[in-house]
Structure 1
Amino acid sequence: MYWKKEFIDFCCKKQVLKFGQFTLKSGRTSPYFFNSGLLSNGEDIVKIGVFYAHSIMNSNVDFDILFGTAYKGIPVAVSTSIALKNHYNLNIPYTFNRKEKKTYGEQGKLIGNIIENKKIIILDDVITSGTAIHNSIKIVEEHKAYISSIFVLFDRKEKGERELHTINCLEKKKNYKITSIITIEDLIDYLLENKTLKRHLIKLLKYRKKYGIDKQ
């Protein structure tokens, strides 16, 4: 899929994706680092929305509403809604939550609406502990809507808390699928074809062998 390569090109150009030696929050020493916080201007968020839209449409998932997790998922939901309209002529509503309930005006915790029995896509950038996603799942389920899928930018596919294929909701005893725009396998394929960056491939494969989960 051309847009996966385009997304990695974009991330390298913006220095979102870097190669070298990095200490992760988990304590692991990684040969690469993905920092989505550097995507912070108008052009960036427009492009990100397009990449999410392509990923959503490629997944063939059925959905009615986009839900952005507070706070990083909020601009993602807005830009993805715009991209779905501009590129696929789909007029999809979006909603997002506040982290604190508003005590005046409409006194709500949501901007926009989650409608009962509708199918929801939850959007976030990169999952770390999963707290924001779990809160979003809880909100959607409280409104008696259905979660179609969860979309993020990048899946490192590592053992432990960073495994992002599914996320468990303990209250409902359900596992929800997480789809990423790119995975570590996409990055490996990219390096295989990139003469400039191919030199980083050996270290990345060693790291993958040590910490990676099986392909799914």
Structure 2
Amino acid sequence: MHNLRQQFIAFSVSTGVLRFGEFTTKAGRLSPYFFNAGLFHEGATLGQLAQFYAQTLLDAKVEFDMLFGPAYKGITLASATAVALAGKGHNTAFAFNRKEAKDHGEGGTIVGAKLAGKVVIIDDVISAGTSVRESVDMIRAAGAEPCAVLIALDRMERSGTDGALSASSAVQEVSREFGIPVISIGNLDDLFSYLSEAEGEAGADPQLAQYREAVSSYRARYGIA
């Protein structure tokens, strides 16, 4: 597992951010895995995560001027990614929003650099796409241009409920709605590859086989084509 995407999956598993078992998602589905970026709560792991974000963004060859982090998780992710980008020779401005407008001092809901130019939205995952839509509205209202969304993990799941599943995932719907790319550090295919490769390694966790089968079944039921 030498490529960046699978390194990210392995890193997420080793830190306990990506776990296997039985978890209920926001959509009410019983998922065999769970990704919680809020568990990147130490300086070392957050710094390493930011390196993944920064390198993924640079590898995507997207033209951008600044970063925007939607409250709340996006605040830490955008600021940490800006630090990582600076360490790679790309000094980049960033901003984030408050949930409630400030009625004193500078006022408003935007903190940090002035929204201008081409803006990359940084978040952990896209579930319903609500935070992205709110971010796009704020960026455009400021006269700037959202140019991409960068997330940690793309679950590659079809939207909707059993019996009424859409043909697209929330990520695909966001990309289509706003005409901008959604870039992920890793996705469900990478996770499955990690399980498949790790299962064959010497001294591998014997439970990996059952997790791989569970993820395969889940992907067959809810995954996008």
| TM-score using structure 1 length | 0.90
The residue number in structure 1 matching 2:112 is: 112
On the 8 A contact 2:22/2:31 being kept in 1, the answer is: yes
Structure 2 gap segments, 5+ residues each: 161-168
2:131 partner amino acid: A
The residue number in structure 1 matching 2:193 is: 189
The residue number in structure 2 matching 1:130 is: 129
On the 8 A contact 1:67/1:95 being kept in 2, the answer is: yes
**Residues 166 and 176 (structure 1), Cα distance of their counterparts in 2 relative to 1, 3 Å cut:** farther
The residue number in structure 1 matching 2:44 is: 43
Structure 1 residue ranges, 4+ long, deviating more than 6 angstroms after superposition: none
Is 1:25 the counterpart of 2:32? The answer is no
| TM-score using structure 2 length | 0.86
Instruction: Give the superposition deviation at 1:168.
Output: 6.5
Instruction: Give the superposition deviation at 1:115.
Output: 4.2
Separation in 1, partners of 2:171, 2:143? 24
Q: What is the DSSP-based 3-state SS (H/G/I as helix, E as strand, rest coil) of the residue aligned with 1:22?
A: strand
The residue number in structure 2 matching 1:163 is: 170
1:65-144 pair list within 5 angstroms: 65-86=66-87, 88-116=88-116, 118-144=117-143
On the 8 A contact 1:157/1:184 being kept in 2, the answer is: yes
On the 8 A contact 2:8/2:52 being kept in 1, the answer is: yes
The residue number in structure 1 matching 2:55 is: 54
* Equivalences, count: 209
The residue number in structure 1 matching 2:166 is: none
Q: What is the DSSP-based 3-state SS (H/G/I as helix, E as strand, rest coil) of the residue aligned with 1:125?
A: coil
1:196-211 pair list within 5 angstroms: 196=204, 197-211=208-222
Stretch deviating more after TM superposition (173-182 or 152-161): 173-182
Is 1:152 the counterpart of 2:151? The answer is yes
How large is the RMSD of aligned CA atoms in angstroms? 1.8
Indicate the percent of aligned positions where both proteins have the same amino acid: 36
Structure 1 gap segments, 5+ residues each: none
On the 8 A contact 1:127/1:152 being kept in 2, the answer is: yes
Q: What is the DSSP-based 3-state SS (H/G/I as helix, E as strand, rest coil) of the residue aligned with 2:102?
A: coil
On the 8 A contact 2:95/2:115 being kept in 1, the answer is: no
